[in-house]
Structure 1
Amino acid sequence: MLDVEISTTELSSKISAGKPPDLVLLDVREPWEYATAKIEGSVLVPMGEIPGRLQEFDPEDHIVTICHAGVRSMNVAVWLRNQGLEKVQSLRGGIDAWSREIDPQVPRY
């Protein structure tokens, strides 16, 4: 089973190599946060909507959850794993770490 967290460098190399079709970047922040800063190609589903939208997630997909600092995304990743989605990981450090370590064009807030 995959680690519950993925580093910014691991995720960046997966995307740089040509984002695999089964890689889903699931941003669980609020709409205003997503409008402020996001990773291109990510999909917004706020944390509070996840339980009601569970059927939208394919258990075969490699889902990487993203939030601001990594706390909400970790909670969502663990919850999704408990629902039977085994290939879910949380982005360690969130969008803030992504901005600091990978893409300084992504605004910090």
Structure 2
Amino acid sequence: MRQLDPLELITWRRGLQENPQYLDVRERWEFALCRLEDSINIPLGELAERYDEIDGERPVVCICHHGIRSLHAASFLEHEGFVEVVNLAGGIDAWARLADPAVPRY
């Protein structure tokens, strides 16, 4: 799967025909602290039971705190046949540092 840092992600999504889905696999308490707009929260531990809530025909960007859990989620989704899966390298923390300093860090 592709791994994109925040600035690469911004460029990549500009070239898409439709907006990607943002799948945040952090725990609910983490998601409550900060998130990308329009992202959905399915904690990694629940993904195997809930991945049918994600449209497998649309691009999916997996997000977590630093990019490790989301890497596991992206690998799982690819294994399940999702067409285009991207991991946000560095996670929401890198996003806050490099793309949107208004996003709180923790």
TM-score, reference length from structure 1: 0.87
Q: Any idea what the Cα deviations from partners look like across 1:6-30, whole Å, max 9, x if unmatched?
A: 2211222355x49854410100001
Secondary structure in 1 aligned to 2:21?
Answer: strand
Q: Residue 42 in 1 paired to residue 39 in 2?
A: yes
Offset, 1:86? 3.0
**Matches of 2:27 and 2:21 in 1, distance apart?**
18
Q: Secondary structure at the match of 1:35?
A: helix
Residue of 82, 85, 88 corresponding to 2:85: 88
Check conservation: 1:99, 1:105, Cα contact below 8 A.
yes
Unaligned runs of 5+ in 2: none
Matched-pair identity in % = 42
CA RMSD of aligned residues (A): 1.9
Cα offset, 1:55, TM superposition: 1.8
Runs of at least 4 residues of structure 1 off by over 4 A? 17-20
TM-score where L is the length of structure 2? 0.89
Counterpart of 1:12, as a letter, is I
Q: 1:4 Cα deviation (Å)?
A: 2.4
Gaps of 5+ in 1: none
Q: Give a deviation string over 1:52-92, Cα, whole Å, max 9, x none.
A: 11222222110000000000000000011011113011100
> Equivalent residues in 2 for 1:1-109 (5 A)?
3-14=1-12, 17=14, 21-109=18-106
Q: How many residues align?
A: 106
- Which residue identity is paired with 2:89? R
Contact 1:36–1:107 (Cα < 8 Å) also in 2: yes
| Contact 1:14-1:20 within 8 A present in 2 as well | no
